[in-house]
Amino acid sequence: MRSLLLLSRRLSKLSSPRNPHFVLSGVRFLSETPLCHIVGAEPCGSTSRDGEIGRLVITACRESFWQTRTVNKKVPMSLMAETATIGASHGWVATLKDGVVCLQDDLIPSASDSDPKRISLPPLQTLRHCQTQLVTNVALSSASPDEDEDCILAVKFVGPQLSLCRLALGDKAEWFDVRVKDPGFFYSRVMYSKRDSMFSMPCFGGKHTGSWDLEQYTLRDSYFSTYPEFLQSQWDRLCNSCRSEHLVESPTGQIYFVKWYTQRCLSSGRSLTDRFLVFRMYENQMKRHITDIGDLCIFLSAKGEPFCLQASLYGLSRNCIYFVGSHDFGKANIADNVMVKEMRTSPAPYIIPPQS
């Protein structure tokens, strides 16, 4: 346990804004792979290691256009089952089987399929009156969990339990389990803030924001200074929608609070994206509704950790949200909520960020 406590101090130093590697705003590396989201996999055989395998199908963004194609990367078809993965962060997907979480780079198109990186963690410990089968999402403190000795994985379970684990400890790794008492966090999604060097979650409704590391817990009250001006019929529609709430951090450390509204289609039973609301969070925890985030675009997926990129560096549409839901994907303009979307069910609804 002492090693876990010492880790948070080291992590804070490595991730602080004083560190020159904290952020390279306005820089795109030539070696980066394109941004993409996972469509599925086409069966192509089997191996003794993975059983049935398939070639990965992705929709990739290369500068100004999106293209769906099958790549040579082979992946286990077991990852294409609807309940096969519990979340993804920085392209790494997490699986949960028999109480053991495993991180895998199989769905990163540029990663090796002959020698995939797979990190198995120690068996989960379930706190009293908690459960460790249903997961909201996962988050990593680093994009290189296989190389960064200070990388921590956070797993948020439905209910009170949040579990953290330092990956580099190997056989000596252990879970640091947190009981989140406020019921408003029971269905929250966790993200990692480089700016704060902590894992954070929004309370349902956005009235509080909680932050955790291996040593401390911070709860901040927040309030909404402005809301959009809608007709009563529009508010009624939002009240009758399903909603998920997300915190996302820009490359420069600005935090945004995003509400993602979906409507259930009566004829098909599918959950389809209806609207997004974006709020900027200020140092005093004020949330202000905005319709312009500048030269940025936000990426949300049904089970993945959200992220944000500078639009002009990747030939993307500024001031937009790119999303992959359970039954649709597309792009929404934050200014007027105009969407371009398609209905498509993805067994692994993840957006894979550019990989260096």
State the chain's mean pLDDT as an integer: 88
Whose tokens are 């019921």? That residue is 183
Domains of the chain, start order: 36-352 (2.120.10)
Which of 31-35, 128-132, 141-145, 292-296 bottoms out in mean pLDDT, i.e. has the lowest?
A: 31-35
Alpha carbon of 294 to those of 38, 240, 244, 254: distances in Å?
27, 30, 23, 12
> What pTM does this model have?
0.88
Show Cβ contacts of residue 118 under 8 Å, excluding neighbours closer than 6 positions.
Answer: 102, 103, 104, 105, 106
Give 245's strand partners. Answer: 259
Residue 13 has pLDDT above 60, yes or no: no
Residues 6 or more apart in contact with residue 155 via CB below 8 angstroms = 86, 87, 94, 101, 124, 135, 138, 162, 163, 164, 165, 190
The pLDDT value recorded for residue 353 is 93
Rounded Cα distance, 243 and 204, in Å? 10
Task: Compute CA distances 198 → 68, 139, 218, whole Å.
Answer: 36, 11, 10
Residue 105, burial from CB neighbour count under 10 angstroms (0-12, 13-18, 19+): buried
What is the per-residue pLDDT for 33?
Answer: 76
**Ramachandran sector of residue 294 (left: φ over 0; alpha: ψ -120 to 50; beta: rest):** left
22, two tokens: 């904290």
Lowest mean pLDDT: which of 40-49, 184-193, 204-213?
204-213
Question: What number is the average pLDDT over the span 254-274?
Answer: 91
Q: How far is CA 92 from CA 47, 69, 117, 153, 238, in A?
A: 22, 21, 9, 11, 33
Is the pLDDT at 36 greater than 80, yes or no?
yes
Contact 209, 203 (CB under 8 A): yes
Whole-number pLDDT of residue 132: 97
Residue 212 neighbours by CB distance under 10 Å: 21
User: In Å, how far are 155, 216, 348 from 199, measured between CA atoms?
Assistant: 10, 11, 24
Range 233-250 average pLDDT = 94
What is the predicted pLDDT for the residue at 165? Answer: 94
Q: How many helices (H) and strands (E) does the chain have?
A: 2, 26
Ranges 56-70, 198-212, 253-267, 295-309: which has the least confidence: 56-70
Residue 352: pLDDT over 60: yes
Alpha-carbon torsion angle 280, 259, 196, 331, nearest 10: -80
Is the confidence at residue 94, as pLDDT, over 70? Answer: yes
Task: Tell me what percent of the residues of the chain surpass a pLDDT of 90.
Answer: 69
- The predicted pLDDT at position 86 comes to 97
- pLDDT for residue 226: 82
DSSP-derived secondary structure letter, 214 = S
* Residue pair 41/55 in contact by the 8 Å Cβ criterion: yes
Residue 165 amino acid letter:
C
Give yes or no for residue 64 having a pLDDT over 70. Answer: no
Q: Is the pLDDT of residue 305 over 90?
A: yes
CA dist 252 and 183 (Å) reads 31
